[in-house]
């Protein structure tokens, strides 16, 4: 089965994805990506790419958690703020 390696404007994501994992992106214009030379980009884990995207300020902080605990107590900032914790950051 074919898999795909994805790239951002700053890195190549180390995980590989199947076509079913990806949304239908045929209607989008990725102008910024067309000018990127992917042979010069570093390899980055998917979780690192998620955190880089979040820290770039492209989404509001309430859309994704950024904790690294078990979130089993109210000490987790995400849980206390009633933000659903994400498995992209921890199990």
Overall number of domains in the chain: 2
For residues 12 and 22, membership in a common domain is answered with: yes
For residues 38 and 64, membership in a common domain is answered with: no
**Global confidence as pTM:** 0.50
Would you say residue 24 has pLDDT above 70? yes
Would you say residue 71 has pLDDT above 70? no
Report the C-alpha dihedral over residues 37, 42, 47, 52, rounded to 10 degrees.
-70
For residues 51 and 16, membership in a common domain is answered with: yes
Give the pLDDT of residue 8.
85
For residues 8 and 30, membership in a common domain is answered with: yes
Q: Do residues 9 and 32 lie in contact, with contact meaning Cβ atoms separated by under 8 Å?
A: yes
The whole domain housing 66 covers 60-91
For residues 23 and 55, membership in a common domain is answered with: yes
Q: Do residues 36 and 7 lie in contact, with contact meaning Cβ atoms separated by under 8 Å?
A: yes
The model's confidence at residue 2, banded by pLDDT at 50, 70 and 90, is: confident
Would you say residue 54 has pLDDT above 60? yes
Q: Which strand ranges, in their side-by-side order, compose the sheet holding 43-44?
A: 3-7, 12-18, 43-44
For residues 53 and 36, membership in a common domain is answered with: yes
The model's confidence at residue 43, banded by pLDDT at 50, 70 and 90, is: very high
The model's confidence at residue 25, banded by pLDDT at 50, 70 and 90, is: confident
For residues 22 and 11, membership in a common domain is answered with: yes
For residues 66 and 53, membership in a common domain is answered with: no
Average pLDDT value for residue range 35-55:
86
């Amino acid at each position: 089965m074919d898999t795909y390696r994805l790239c951002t404007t700053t890195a190549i994501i180390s995980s590989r994805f199947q076509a079913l994992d990806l949304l239908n992106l045929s209607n989008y214009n990725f102008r910024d990506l067309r000018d990127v030379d992917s042979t010069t980009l570093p390899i980055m884990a998917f979780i690192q790419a998620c955190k880089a995207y979040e820290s770039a300020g492209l989404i509001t902080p309430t859309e994704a958690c950024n904790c690294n605990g078990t979130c089993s107590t109210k000490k987790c900032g995400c849980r206390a703020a009633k933000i659903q914790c994400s498995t992209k950051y921890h199990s």
